[in-house]
Amino acid sequence: MWVNDHVEATLAMEYSAELLMNWIATYIWSFTRIAAMLMVMVVVGSRTTPKRVRLFYALAVTIAVFPILPAAPMDIELFSVASAFVILQQLLIGIAIGTISIFVVQTFVVAGQIIAMQTSLGFASMADPMSGQSSPVVGQFYVLLVTLLFLGVDGHLLMIELIVRSFETLPISMKGLLATDYQKLAGWFSVMFQAALAFSIASMVAMLLVNLSFGIMTKAAPQLNIFSLGFSISMVFGLFVLWITLINVPTHFENQWLRGITTMCELLNGVCEKQP
């Protein structure tokens, strides 16, 4: 008897069109922000990952976190010009967060290019899976190491957690990131080059001493064909310097990653302070 009453009550329950549209709007706008980040961020957003896989991944994440997401604003209709601005703001937020992770990895690509040019290894290049452009193998070697470190510290899971918590600190609305937030994002270009130079400065000094030694040898013994020997010797010393600098990769990655997390938290209105 109780089961029949429960079934009848369930069938009699009516959902208003306004409530259903609010649910759909919450899902679409939340999916836009999450998908924008996943389409850009490191590893998941690389060109080696099929777009269909990224799309289904974003759908799965949105469905999993949908019950804990705050409701969408009721004063904005889903099919309206205001909704288009809301979608645009969610895209910009997600792209900004994913771009920061790209900047963290590209720091080591720039450092690898500097080291490759100084060690006569710049002629060896291959396609970058993230940008699709040709870059030195040394830079790609550092990218592989940094990618492993990124996955090792669960960076992808942390970014998903931050973007989910951002719906509380940066609610869905027509207002998104401020002009100062875009200025912080643009400031990462200088941060990226500074960190790359700090990482590669030791290799630059070491190779400068090697080239200076070749210059002294050329001045002391002009009959020696230093130009034919210098290339191979520089390459051998370059490989040695590359091996020595591997010990500094985790430290520099940690500094850059913490700096990137801090910037993400600032863009998302202090989302890290809301964590339990």
Q: What's the pLDDT tens digit per position in 181-205?
A: 888 888 888 888 888 888 888 777 8
Q: Is the pLDDT of residue 48 over 60?
A: yes
- 98 and 37 Cβ atoms separated by less than 8 Å: yes
Q: How far is residue 170's CA from residue 176's CA, in Å, rounded to a whole number?
A: 8
More confident residue, 129 or 115: 115
Lowest pLDDT segment from 2-6, 50-54, 55-59, 93-97: 2-6
For residues 130-138, average pLDDT: 65
Token pair 């899971």 is found at 157
Let me know if 226 is exposed, middle or buried by CB neighbors in 10 A (0-12, 13-18, 19+).
middle
Task: Looking at 66-154, list the stretches that DSSP marks H as alpha helix, in order from N- to C-terminal side.
Answer: 81-118, 137-152
pLDDT in tens, 16-43: 666 677 777 778 888 888 989 988 888 8
Q: How far is residue 178's CA from residue 180's CA, in Å, rounded to a whole number?
A: 5
pLDDT-derived band at 2, boundaries 50, 70, 90: very low
pLDDT in tens, 260-269: 898 888 888 8
pTM confidence score = 0.79
Q: How far is residue 139's CA from residue 131's CA, in Å, rounded to a whole number?
A: 13
Q: How far is residue 247's CA from residue 164's CA, in Å, rounded to a whole number?
A: 35
